[in-house]
Structures are given as structure tokens and as C-alpha cells.
Amino acid sequence: MNEPKDQKLASRNMPGMNRPDRFAEVQHAEHLGATLKRIFAYFARERAMVIGMLAVVIFGTLCSVYAPSLQSRAIDTIAGVRTGNLLGIVLLMLGVYLLHSLCQLLQGVVSARLSQRVVKHMREELFAKLVDLPVRYLDTHSHGDVVSRMTNDIENLSTTVSQSLPSLFSGVLTIIGTVAIMLWYCWQLALLSYATVLLTLLATKFLSGRVRKFSRKRQQLLGQLNGTVEEMVSGYRTVVAYNRQAQTTEDFCQTADSLTKVGIKTDIFSGVMGPVMNCIGNIGFVIIAAFGGYFSIHGLISVGVISAFIVYAKQFSRPINELAQVYGQLQTAIAGAERVFTVLDEADEDKAGEALQDNEQKTVTFQNVNFSYEPGHPVIRDFSLTVPSGKKVALVGATGSGKTTIVNLLMRFYDIESGTIRINGQDISQVSRDDLRKNMAIVLQDTVLFSDTLRQNMKYGNEAATDEEITAAMKMSRCDDLPRRLPQGWESVLVNSGENISQGQRQLLAIARAFVADPKILILDEATSNVDTRTEKAIQDAMQRVMQDRTSIVIAHRLSTIRDSDIIVVMDHGQIVESGNHDQLLAQRGKYYELYQTQYAGFAT
Amino acid sequence: MMWKYIRRYLPYAILAAAFMVGEVSMDLIQPGIMSQIVDDGVLGLNTGGTGNLDLIWRLGLQMICLVLFGGLCGSLNNVFVHMSGQNIGNDMRKDCFRKIMTFSFPQIDRFGTGSLVTRMTNDITQVQNFISQFVRGMIRTTVLTFGSIYCMFRLSRVFGYVVLCVFPLIILVMAVCMKKSSSLFTKLQTQLDTVNSIMQEDVAGIRVIKACVRELYEKLRFGKANNELIQTQLRVLIIFAFMNPIVNALMYLAVAAILLVGNITVRAGGATPGNVMAAITYTTQLLNGLLMLVMLFQNITRGIASWKRVRVLLDSTPELADGEQAGETALRGSVEFQDVSFAYPDGQTVLEHIDLKLEPGETLALMGETGCGKTSLVSLIPRFYDVTGGAVLVDGVNVKEYRQTALRDKIAVALQKSELFSASVAENIAWGDPEAGEAAIRAAATVAQADSFIAQMPEGYQTLVAERGMSLSGGQKQRVSIARAVVKNAEILIFDDSTSALDLKTEADLYAALREANPHSTKIIVAQRIASARQADRIAVLENGHIIACGPHEELLASCPTYQAIYQSQMGEEDDHHE
């Protein structure tokens, strides 16, 4: 379960600027073949660009293989071991080099466009998928995880494919090209130069094992450290109230110190790779200089060839260096792609169905409804209830008694297992979800506002609403002074999901939003729990008017919220224990009476 | 400021720099030796055209030694670089944390929790990388660049001039690219934040989206934000796509020029073919150095930006001055507000002219609408905030005269949003009193009505509270945090709406147990429900920052219209008939 936290940290990186480090943990895809095929499909859509890019890469590589041989000829001409028109050779060489640069440029531009197009498409597709998925998916998956797929995995995939792939491709071509031409010039010297490749591979293998071991430890400590900071800063009030600053600091310093120790070890092992590679490169250089000189004296090669070899040796050690790295990156990217595809493969919420019959009356009937989130753990059992049109029904009961589940079922966020839910006799499982939901409005305990303007937020449930309608709704929910209090009035953007207004205000806004939606059926799920009782009372009075001819279902913790309901339903373990109006239930002296007594114990003196 | 941290690890940094110079010097010497191999060994320029095999082997061996020495220097440089960088980062991180722990609440509010966390984590890591890269990269590039130019001048003046001509051009290209991209980076960050926040809020608010059938709207909203981000990102990538090839092209131009100029010089006897080859190698080295500079530059700009943010944190001074009073007072448990006014730093006035006195052992309930200043009022007692007018006296002494720890030792607070920490339940409770034994913890939990559910958990009191209490329900968290306050056995107990998630039965039991367990403590209870408040000795009703009434339940019910209104909103009309 540590993973989401780490990924959250990673998501702070800038997209496109991720520079996966050489020894980063490599992840593996489970179904490599199938995943690859789908990745191909994405890039196949941009066929022209992909083909263009590959052509440019091939041409560029040819240039880079050809140019050093011209350089070698020029040196030979200068040394006098070969005659020819030096100016001509140099100009040709320059031309080839410049073409190579041009190819690099084109490749860069094309791969940037390609990667960004693929990111854009994939991200839009995944976002659309998330919105279209049944609520169950987001209820059962960590949100941090989902967001990380949207950012990291997609970003990773496209950067790797569009940037590492060309370098892989040109790398392989360059290796083949240079190896061939080196062998052609002087196979003895070529073979000697290849010795450095072996050294590179050995060094990488030796170091990477060690680095991985330490970096895993480091990652874990880092998570711990960041966790401590987050916890102590957000819980600062408590830290101060209990005078725990010194103790907390000491704990923090301990973690910080052990992180530093592990960090130094990791960095030493991973950082030493640079100097070691440099050293190996230089050894190659020496081999070429010394043995090249030796061969040259024996007349096997000319001086110019030594110069060419130096360039070639550089040219072919670079891609070999990169290959190991790119290979790991590719695997991680493919594993990420697989995760993205898993989400994309989830079935959408089924939007099909008939329209809800247009009728001013909205009678809601539950008939022998059974439901469970997990098989074998029934949450709603044989639930039957009729909510007459225009009446207010309250659901009461302990946490976990299934009140909120009833809302989930009525909104068709989840589908029932058996039984039926009807509106005016029409089975809602036959009604399209969109049409069903358009007839209802819900206000939830966790208020959701969007980082959009105040007006857009208010119009969320009813796009056609006029400013007058919105003001009227806000007046009813007692928050009509808000546009005046916010700096930009109606156009103020509610930052960070509405954190620039208080929790209570947010709830009032959410209620106003539901009023604006002007629904046939209104559902309030603990909607006023963060509002003090007087304000709640005022809202209720207003609601009485609004809800006069509407069916409403109210879930509340405070009995004062629901006592004037037409029907109060007491639930326990997914079943209805009693129902009736307040006075009837009190008279019954059952569960409701008990609840009432505890809430108002000692009041009725 | 930075120097303060570097100074402590200066020896490491100096050693690192010295080894780096060693490594680069070896890189610089090699082409010279190679030139000798070509000229004297192969071409035999000084021996009349006959090659010298012995010389080649000797020079080759010499080169290998230099290379290995260079590698050793490089590795040691790497060791010392990280020892200095990581240690400096660690010191900074610890200092930052210590600093935060001295902050007042207005300071914390000003920074914002999120910003403090990023500064502590991300920013310091950036600074740390910046130091490491600076020590390693900057020295390497500088020595390599100037060393290469110097060596070329030594080979032949003309080679030096060629490089000097190209060098400024390359720098210019890089500077233009950096400048163009840097403004885009800021834009990129804001756009990225927008995309992320849309994602997060939509994932969290999926029910509302679906209930309002706004799926399409959200897709369009996301599409727009995503598109803007992608556009900017593309522009950045394209700028960098131009940079490398152009710099490369300039270098190839220099190589061509060296070949042509070299030919003339060789003919004139001013240089040898080996020199020409060496000059070309130096040019490539120079280029590599410069390209590395670009990468460094990016990290450095990021590092400096981070450093600025960290520095603000390190530079800030604790706002609350400690007093002298060590806590010994004759009175135990008295609280007095004398004409107290309070406004938040943003100017929002919350409390005006509050006068209120609590005797030791008294229980006071505070009631009022959301946002009327109840929490602010109790926050003044442990000096979470300082009054803007008047004075708060605890045990007859102004809170500003206490040492902060002494003052807070007298007070136990349970908050509405209970903050628990990733430790076992027992450890969380023991925050109230580190000396508390198992029995004391259990007793406190029993008072808080928490013992029964804690005992039912798989590992009882040793159960770990995961992720700030995500594993517990709201009511459970509140009860653990109340237990923590109870175990502290303080003179003054403050319950800031800390029983809001409990049902009334549990709440009533809790208060009864509390009265029995801590009869001498002064208790201040912020409450929304009349049922929680009515047992108090006195109830203070706050409205618009003023105390409009204060007295026992019956008295308020008879005389205070606001209280009556609250009562009615909770009771409903028919109960009035009972009265």
C-alpha cells in the first residue's frame, strides 16, 4: 500500500521533463505481446509522422557514419599520405555533418509532436473513461493511484516511445554501421576497440545490483520522512498543544539521518557510473591511439583512420551505453501502458434505456430489494418502501445500516441484485441512467465544488438556469451574500475545490446547487451536518416551500433534521425496523423512541 | 545563508573539487599524448619519417596510467560530492523542521500546510541536487571548457582563434533557448496544476458529476486544460529540439575550419597532423562540456528557485516571544478574558470586547452559529493565536508572560478535526503524558468511551493508526483524541466541538465519566448541540464576535432569544408544550 504515496510524489514532477534515472526500478508488464500491440495501434494512428521520423533517423545515421571517413581522408591529405582536393573533401564533410544536424533537428521536432499528440489522446481517452466508468470503480480503487495513471504512466509511455525509441533505433543502426565500417577499415583495431563494450557491460551489471538494493531502502525512508513532515505539519495544532515539538524534531532528525546515510551510499554507487564510463571511454581512446599507431607503422592503416576510429569509437559506445538504460525504461513504460489499458478495458456504465415517463407525480417504490457491495456481505436485505409523490421520507439508523446505499441504488450508481425499484411504476433498471439522474438532485455530506467560477458551479445541475433563479436558490439556502463577499463576485473561481470558502458555506452552496437543478426528486444525504442547527432550521423552512410538490429522501444524523418528515424509516443492518411519522413512532416506543430518548435525554422536563 | 551550510562540509567540497580538477586534467592531457603518438611514433616527423614503435608503446602505457588515475579521481570526486551534498541537504532539512516547530499558527497559515510540505521535501531535494551538480558539473565544465581552449592555443594559435570564434555563437544559441523556455516553464507549472486539480476533484466528485449528468461537460473542461498544457509542453520540447542540432552544426563548422586552417599551418610548419587531430578532439570535448552546461543550467535554475523558497522558511523568525513565567501559580485552572478582541492576520475581525472569567473547576459551554468565533476564542487560551486587543489570563497571569511550554502544560485540547499520528493507539494517547503507563492510558480511554472499541481491535491498544487515522471512523478518532487530552490531566480542558461525531448517548456518558475523573479541571466545551451544552455550569452564547448571554441553561432559556431559537431548532415546537 506504499505505492500510491510514492507515486503521488512522483506526480509532482513536470511532465515531459521526467528523466528516469539509470538505475530506476524496472517494472515488468504481464502481457507483453498484447500490450505492445495496443501501443503500436496508438502510434499507427500517427502513421505519417512515425514513418517520417524513422526515415529521418535512417538518413541521419547514415550521415553520421559517413562523415568521419571524410574527416579521416582530410587528415590523411593534411599528413600528406594521400593526395586530393582538401577543400572539396572538407566541404563535403561539412555538408554531411550539417545534414546530420538537420536530421537531428527534424527528429526532435517530429518526436515532440508525436509524443504530445499521443499523450493528449491517451489522456483524454482515459479521462473520458474514468468519467464514464461506474461509480463502483472509483469507490474501490485508490484515487491517488488513478490520478497517477493519468499523469505518470501516460507521460512515461509517450516520452519513452517517442524519444527513446528513435534513439534506440538510431542507436542500433549506428552500432551496425560503425561496427561494419570499423571492420572494413581495419578489423584488428576494430576488435580491440570492442573490448570496451565488454567492460561497460560488466561495470553496469556490477553496479546496478548494489544501487537497486540501496535505492529501494532509500525510497522507503523517503516515504517515511515525507509522511512525517506531512503529518506533523498538518497536525501542528496538536503537536503544539501537547508540547511535542522537541520529541517530534528528534524523531524527524533520526529518520533524516538514516535517509542521508542510505542516500550517500546510493548516490556513490550510482554516481560512480559516470567516471567509470568516462574511464572506459578513455581506455578505448588509448587502445586506438596505441594500437592504431602500431598498425599504422606496419602500414595496415593510415593516420587518418586513427582519427576516424576515435570518432567511431565514441559513436558506438554512446548507444551501447544508452541501450541498457532504454531497455529498462521501455519495460517500465510498457508496464505503465498495461495499467492504463486495464482501466480502458473496464466496461462503461450502460447508458442505454428508455426515457423516464414525464409525469408531475413521482412515486418511488422499492420492492424486495437486495444488494451487496461484496458477494456474501448483504447490505440491503428485502427492502420494501413506498415514497408517495411529493412526500418527504427520512432514513434513520446507525452508521452502516445502509442508508446511503439506498441513495446509491436509487441513483443507479450501483445496480440492485434482486427486487425492483420503480418510479411511477416504471422499473428504473429499464430507464437510461442519464434520464433518471436528470430528474433527481443529490446533496452529499462531502461537499463537492469544482474549481470553476461560482456561476458555473451553481449552474452545474441546470445549465439553463438564469442569474435570477440562482440568486433565488441561494437566498433559500442562505448563502446569497456570497457573490458580494467574493472579490470577483459571480466570476470568482473557487480555488482548490472551494477552499476559499468555509465548510459550512460550501454545504450551503451545494444545497443551493440542488435547488437550482429544480429536480422532481431531491435527495439529501447528511447534507446539513456541517451547518449549525439554526441555519439548518432556516434552510428547512425554505425547503418546505421548494419541496412542496416534490418527492424527497433525507438522511440525517440529527433527529431534529427529520422530525417533520412525512414518513420516518428506521433502518438497521439493511432492513427496515420501523416506519411511520414522528408521533406514531414515538408512540410505538420502539427503536426510534430509544434513539429519540438518547438524543434528547433530559430535555422534556 | 547557503554558506553557513556549505561551511560545515567545506573540506568535502574542496576535496571533491580537487579530484574533479584531477579527472578533467587527465582528459585534457590525453589528446596531446595522442598527437605525439601520431607525429613522433607513426609519422616520425622528428626522426625523418620513420616510425618509432617503442615510443608508441611507452606513450600508450603512460596514457593508460593517466586514464586510470583520472578514473580514480573521478570516483573519489563522486564520493565527496555526495558526502557534501547529502549532508548539506540533511542539515537544511533538519533546520527547516526545527524552524517550523517554532512557528506560530499565523505563520503556518501564511505558508499553508501544502507549501510547507513541498518546501521540506521537493525543494530541499532540488537544492541538494543543485549543490551536488554544482560541485561536480560546474567545475567539470568550467575546467574542461577553458582547459580545452587553452590546450588548443598551445597546439597552435590559429586553432585557438577558430574555437574562440565559434564559442560565443554556441553560448548565444544556448542563452536564447534557455531564455525562451524559462518563461514557458512557469506557465507549464500552472497549467499542470490546473489539469491535476481537475483530475483530482473529478475523481473525488464523480457522484455529483453523474448525478448532474455532466460527464460531457467535464470531458470538455478537461480537454481544454489538457490541450493548453500539451501546447506549452510542445513549445518547450521544440525549443530544445532546435538547440542541440544547432550547437552541433556550429561545432562541425569549427571542425571544418580547423581542418582547412590546419592544412595551411601544417604546410607552413606551424603545426603537425597530430596537432590537427588533437585540436578536433578538444573541440568535441568542449562541445560536450557546453551541452552539459545546458542540462546543468536547467537544474540550477530549478535549484535556485527552490533555494529561494527554502530560504524564506529558514529566514523567518518565530513570531511568538516566550515569556519568563515557568508555570508556578497560586491559582490552578482559572481563565479570564479581559476586553479581548481578535482578528486574523488577513484583517477579518472575529472577536470584539470579550469579557469572561472562569473559576477553577467550572464547566463552560460555548455555543453559536458556524463561524461566530468559538474556535478562535478557545485558541487564544493556549496562545495558538495572540489577541489583537485586551488580554487573556490563565491562573491570573497574562498568557504572553508564560513560557509557551509552561502555558501549554496547563492545558489539554481535543479538536474538532482530531489529528492522530501514525503510531499505535496507545502511543497516540500517550502523547498527552509520555510517562503514562498502560493502566493510565486504559483509564483515560475508558473515560473517553474508547476502551471498548479499542479492546475489540485486532491488536488492541497496539493497533497502528494508519494514515492519520483513516482506519478509524470519525467518532473513534474523536474519542482517541479525547483520551489523549484526558490522560494529560491538565488544569484546563478544552473540547473544541470534539464530540460532534458521537451519538448523544455516548457523549452524555463521556461527559459524566469526565466529571467524575477530572472534577477539579476547568472545562471549556465548544458545542453545537444543546444536549452537549446544557449540563455545563454556564453557557456562553456567541454571536457576531460578542458574548450576548452567559448563564446556566434555565436562565438562558428564559432570557436569551438566540438561545431559545437554537433550542427550538433542535427540539421542535411540541416540546414547548411539555415545559
Contact call for B578 and A225, based on CB within 8 A:
no
Where does A410-475 show beta strands of DSSP type E? Answer: 418-423, 426-427, 440-443
Indicate whether A451 belongs to any domain.
yes
Examine the domain organization and report whether A176 and A68 are in the same domain: yes
Where is A485: in which H helix or E strand?
A: helix A482-485
Testing the interface with A: which of B67, B109, B247, B510 to mutate, by most A Cβ within 10 A?
A: B67
Indicate whether A202 belongs to any domain.
yes
Q: Which residue has the higher pLDDT, B340 or A539?
A: B340
Q: What's the DSSP call for residue B424?
A: B
CB A312, CB A71: distance < 8 Å: no
Q: Report the number of distinct structural domains present in chain A.
A: 3
Q: Could you list the residue range(s) of the whole structural domain that residue B371 is in?
A: 328-410+531-579
Indicate whether B46 belongs to any domain.
yes
Quote the minimal CA–CA distance from B305 to chain A in Å: 15
Examine the domain organization and report whether A146 and A204 are in the same domain: no
Indicate whether A566 belongs to any domain.
yes
Read off the pLDDT of each residue in B190-198 and give the average, rounded to a whole number: 82
Q: What is the CATH number of the domain that holds B575?
A: 3.40.50.300
Does position B417 have pLDDT exceeding 80, yes or no?
Answer: no
Q: In this complex, is the C-beta atom of B169 within 8 Å of any C-beta atom belonging to chain A?
A: no
pLDDT of amino acid A25? 61
Average pLDDT, chain A: 81
Q: Report the number of distinct structural domains present in chain B.
A: 2
pTM over 0.90: no
Q: In this complex, is the C-beta atom of B429 within 8 Å of any C-beta atom belonging to chain A?
A: no
Read off the pLDDT of each residue in B573-577 and give the average, rounded to a whole number: 41
Examine the domain organization and report whether A223 and A86 are in the same domain: no
pLDDT of amino acid B257? 92
Q: In this complex, is the C-beta atom of B347 within 8 Å of any C-beta atom belonging to chain A?
A: no
**Contacting residues of B for A236, CB less than 8 Å apart:** 100, 103, 105, 108, 113
Examine the domain organization and report whether B152 and B24 are in the same domain: yes
**Contacting residues of A for B568, CB less than 8 Å apart:** 537
Indicate whether B211 belongs to any domain.
no
Q: What is the largest CA-CA distance in chain A?
A: 120
Contact call for B43 and A244, based on CB within 8 A:
no
pLDDT of amino acid B572? 53
Q: Which residue has the higher pLDDT, B57 or A502?
A: B57
Which one of A131, A303, A531 has the shortest CB-CB distance to B219?
Answer: A131
**Contacting residues of B for A286, CB less than 8 Å apart:** 30, 60, 63-64, 67
Cβ neighbours, 10 Å, residue A407: 21
**Contacting residues of B for A517, CB less than 8 Å apart:** 212
Quote the minimal CA–CA distance from B570 to chain A in Å: 5
Examine the domain organization and report whether B139 and B26 are in the same domain: yes
Contact call for A249 and B98, based on CB within 8 A:
yes
Examine the domain organization and report whether A436 and A466 are in the same domain: yes
Indicate whether A170 belongs to any domain.
yes
Indicate whether B121 belongs to any domain.
yes
Indicate whether B479 belongs to any domain.
no
- In the block, cell 502544560 appears at B409
Quote the minimal CA–CA distance from B466 to chain A in Å: 11
Q: Which of A329-333, B20-24, B167-171, B335-339 has the lowest mean pLDDT?
A: A329-333
Examine the domain organization and report whether A450 and A588 are in the same domain: yes
Does position A369 have pLDDT exceeding 90, yes or no?
Answer: yes
**pLDDT tier, B355 (very low <50, low <70, confident <90, very high otherwise):** very high
**Contacting residues of A for B108, CB less than 8 Å apart:** 233, 236
Q: In this complex, is the C-beta atom of B242 within 8 Å of any C-beta atom belonging to chain A?
A: yes
Contact call for A109 and B122, based on CB within 8 A:
no
**Contacting residues of B for A98, CB less than 8 Å apart:** 249, 252
Indicate whether B503 belongs to any domain.
no
Q: Which three cell numbers stand for residue B364?
A: 463552560
Examine the domain organization and report whether A178 and A216 are in the same domain: no
Examine the domain organization and report whether B16 and B100 are in the same domain: yes
Distance CA(A496)–CA(B438), nearest Å, equals: 43
Quote the minimal CA–CA distance from B202 to chain A in Å: 8
CB B216, CB A442: distance < 8 Å: no
Q: Could you list the residue range(s) of the whole structural domain that residue A256 is in?
A: 188-300
What are the tens digits of pLDDT across the range A117-175? 888 888 899 899 988 888 888 888 777 777 777 777 887 787 777 667 777 777 888 88
Read off the pLDDT of each residue in B192-215 and give the average, rounded to a whole number: 83
Examine the domain organization and report whether B311 and B333 are in the same domain: no
Indicate whether A4 belongs to any domain.
no
Examine the domain organization and report whether A437 and A343 are in the same domain: no
Examine the domain organization and report whether B47 and B136 are in the same domain: yes
Quote the minimal CA–CA distance from B152 to chain A in Å: 17
Q: Which residue has the higher pLDDT, A568 or A278?
A: A568
Contact call for A530 and B370, based on CB within 8 A:
yes
DSSP line for A67-131 = HHHHHHHHHHHHHTSS-S-HHHHHHHHHHHHHHHHHHHHHHHHHHHHHHHHHHHHHHHHHHHHHH
Indicate whether A213 belongs to any domain.
yes
Closest CA to B82 of A329, A211, A213: A211
Q: In this complex, is the C-beta atom of B123 within 8 Å of any C-beta atom belonging to chain A?
A: no
Indicate whether A20 belongs to any domain.
no
Distance CA(A15)–CA(A156), nearest Å, equals: 8
Which one of B86, B246, B260 has the shortest CB-CB distance to A90?
Answer: B260
What are the tens digits of pLDDT across the range A268-288? 888 888 788 878 888 887 888
**Contacting residues of A for B543, CB less than 8 Å apart:** none
pLDDT of amino acid A366? 93
Contact call for B212 and A517, based on CB within 8 A:
yes
Examine the domain organization and report whether B282 and B374 are in the same domain: no
Does position B577 have pLDDT exceeding 80, yes or no?
Answer: no
Examine the domain organization and report whether B36 and B132 are in the same domain: yes
Quote the minimal CA–CA distance from A284 to chain B in Å: 10
Which one of B113, B222, B384 has the shortest CB-CB distance to A127?
Answer: B222
**Contacting residues of B for A80, CB less than 8 Å apart:** 273
Residue A162's contacts (CB-CB under 8 Å, 6 or more residues apart) are A111, A112, A114, A115, A118
Indicate whether B178 belongs to any domain.
no
Q: Mapping DSSP to helix (H, G, I), strand (E, B) and coil, where does residue A589 land? A: coil
Contact call for B411 and A241, based on CB within 8 A:
yes
- Which residues 354-373 of B are in CB contact (within 8 Å) with A? 368-371
- Give CA torsion, residues A278, A283, A285, A287, to 10 deg: -170
Testing the interface with B: which of A9, A71, A77, A105 to mutate, by most B Cβ within 10 A?
A: A105
Q: What is the CATH number of the domain that holds A106?
A: 1.20.1560.10
Examine the domain organization and report whether A212 and A334 are in the same domain: no
Quote the minimal CA–CA distance from A131 to chain B in Å: 6
Read off the pLDDT of each residue in A20-26 and give the average, rounded to a whole number: 52
Q: What is the CATH number of the domain that holds A516?
A: 3.40.50.300
Read off the pLDDT of each residue in A255-279 and give the average, rounded to a whole number: 87
Q: Which of A323-337, A386-400, B308-322, B501-515 has the lowest mean pLDDT?
A: A323-337
pLDDT of amino acid A498? 47
- What are the start-end ranges of the H helices in B448-526? 451-456, 474-487, 504-517
**pLDDT tier, B512 (very low <50, low <70, confident <90, very high otherwise):** confident
Indicate whether B206 belongs to any domain.
no
What are the tens digits of pLDDT across the range B96-147? 999 888 888 888 877 877 778 878 877 888 888 888 888 788 888 888 888 9
For the question of an ipTM over 0.90, the answer is no
Examine the domain organization and report whether B309 and B337 are in the same domain: no
Instruction: Kindly report the length of chain A.
Output: 605
**pLDDT tier, A533 (very low <50, low <70, confident <90, very high otherwise):** confident
Which one of B83, B277, B419 has the shortest CB-CB distance to A238?
Answer: B419
How many CA atoms does the CB half-sphere of A178 hold within 13 Å? 28
Examine the domain organization and report whether B298 and B355 are in the same domain: no
**Contacting residues of A for B488, CB less than 8 Å apart:** 242
Examine the domain organization and report whether B17 and B80 are in the same domain: yes
Examine the domain organization and report whether B293 and B398 are in the same domain: no
Contact call for B90 and A91, based on CB within 8 A:
no
Where is A155: in which H helix or E strand?
A: helix A154-159
Distance CA(B56)–CA(A422), nearest Å, equals: 96
Indicate whether A317 belongs to any domain.
no
Examine the domain organization and report whether A253 and A370 are in the same domain: no
CB A384, CB A368: distance < 8 Å: yes
pLDDT of amino acid A102? 94
Indicate whether B518 belongs to any domain.
no
Examine the domain organization and report whether A419 and A339 are in the same domain: no
Q: In this complex, is the C-beta atom of B89 within 8 Å of any C-beta atom belonging to chain A?
A: yes
Last residue of a domain, one of B258, B291, B315: B315
What are the tens digits of pLDDT across the range A114-130? 888 888 888 899 899 98
**pLDDT tier, A5 (very low <50, low <70, confident <90, very high otherwise):** very low
Q: Mapping DSSP to helix (H, G, I), strand (E, B) and coil, where does residue A325 land? A: helix
Examine the domain organization and report whether A168 and A235 are in the same domain: no
Q: What is the CATH number of the domain that holds B85?
A: 1.20.1560.10
Residue B332, CA distances (Å) to A597, B361, B384, B436 in order: 37, 9, 20, 22
Q: In this complex, is the C-beta atom of B488 within 8 Å of any C-beta atom belonging to chain A?
A: yes
Examine the domain organization and report whether A171 and A60 are in the same domain: yes
Q: Which residue has the higher pLDDT, A497 or A209?
A: A209
Contact call for B105 and A236, based on CB within 8 A:
yes
What are the tens digits of pLDDT across the range A390-443? 888 999 887 667 888 898 899 899 989 999 999 988 999 999 988 888 888 888
Which one of B89, B199, B371 has the shortest CB-CB distance to A150?
Answer: B199
Q: Which three cell numbers stand for residue B575?
A: 416540546
Read off the pLDDT of each residue in B61-86 and give the average, rounded to a whole number: 89
Q: Which amino acid is at B517?
A: A
